[in-house]
Amino acid sequence: MISTVMRRAWLSLAVIGAVAGGLAACGPSGASAGGAEATDDARGTAAATRVGKALSGVREKTEKAGSARVDCTMSVGDTVATRSTGAIGWAGGLSGTLTITYTGGSWAKTMRELGNVSTPARFVSDAYYAKMSDKFAAVSGHGRHWIKYDYEASATFTPAQSVELLLAAPDTREVGTATVRGVRTTHYSGTVDVARLGISRPGLTDTELAELTQWLKQAGITKQRVDIWVDARDLLVKRSERGQVAGGTSVTTAYYKDYGTHVRIPEPPPAADTVDFSDLANTKAS
C-alpha cells in the first residue's frame, strides 16, 4: 500500500522530470501589436531579418561551444520552486550532472518528508535519472532509488533551444543592452505562439520549424514569453521563459558560463536500483 506521503509525491516526481528535462513554461504571455502601415512593415521586415541573422549566429556559436555550466531556477506559482546547478554537454548527445534543490512551494514540503531536499540528476545518451531517498525507495513499492525519465519532448538546459524559439517567434526583437552578472549583453525578446508558426522564419528551415512545432505541442506549450541575453562572443549568458499554467505563473530562468567546460559523461545507475517513471505512474494508477 502506497503511503499518503507517497501519493502526494506523484506530482512532485513529475516536476522532477519537467525540471530536469527543462520543459519551458507554457500559456498566454501577451500579444504582439498590429495595424502598422506599409512603411513600418518594411522597416519591421528589415529589422526582423537583421535580428534573425544575429540569432542564427548565436545558435551556431552556442552549438559549437558544446557545453557550459548552468544555474537554473524554476517556479510554478506557490506550488514548487527549484534551483538546478551543474554542467551539461550537448555535443554528440546530452551528458552531465545537475543537482536539483527544492527551495520553496508546497511540493518542497512533500519532498522533504520523503528525505529529498536535493536530487542528483544524471544525463546520459537516451534518458536522465533522478536519485531519490531511502524513504522513497521504501514507500514506493519498488525499493529502488533512481527514477528514469526518457527523453521525449525535452531539450534540457541547452541554451540553443531558447535561440530556436526566438527564431520561430513572429515578434522577436532586439530590446537593448544590459549587464548580467557583470557581463555586457544584448537582450532579445519574443513571444512563441504555436498557432503562428506556420511559416519559416529567418534562420530556420522548414524541417527545423516542423520539429520545433512538434516539440512545443508535445510539451503542451501554446504561447510563452522568451528572453535571452547574449555576450560579445554570441554566447548566451541568460535565458528566461514565462507563462501561465494550471498551478499559476510559471517562470524559468537560467544563467550560463564557462562554455566549453569539460563535462564528465556519467554512468547510468545500476538497473537493479532503477525504476522507470512510467512504471511508477502505472503503480499509482493501480
The span from the CA of 24 to the CA of 239, in Å, is: 11
Domain that holds residue 118: 4-285
For 227-266, how does the pLDDT look when each residue is reduced to its tens digit (9 = 90+)? Answer: 999 999 999 999 998 876 656 677 889 999 999 999 988 9
The CATH number of whichever domain residue 137 belongs to comes to: 2.50.20.20
**pLDDT at position 24 over 90:** no
Question: What mean pLDDT value characterizes the chain?
Answer: 77
Predicted local distance difference test score (pLDDT) of residue 177 = 97
Note the pLDDT of residue 57: 93
Do 159 and 68 touch, CB atoms closer than 8 A? yes
Q: How many domains, in total, are found in the chain?
A: 1
Give long-range contacts, CB 8 A cutoff, 24+ apart: 179-183.
180/229, 180/237, 180/238, 180/255, 181/237, 181/238, 181/255, 181/257, 183/231, 183/237
Averaged pLDDT for residues 216-225: 70
Per the confidence metrics, is the pTM higher than 0.85? Answer: no
Q: 198-218 in b/e burial notation, b at 16+ Cβ within 10 A?
A: eeebbbbeeeebeebeebbee
Least Cα distance to 228 among 175, 168, 170 occurs for 175
With a cut of 50, say whether residue 153 has pLDDT above it: no
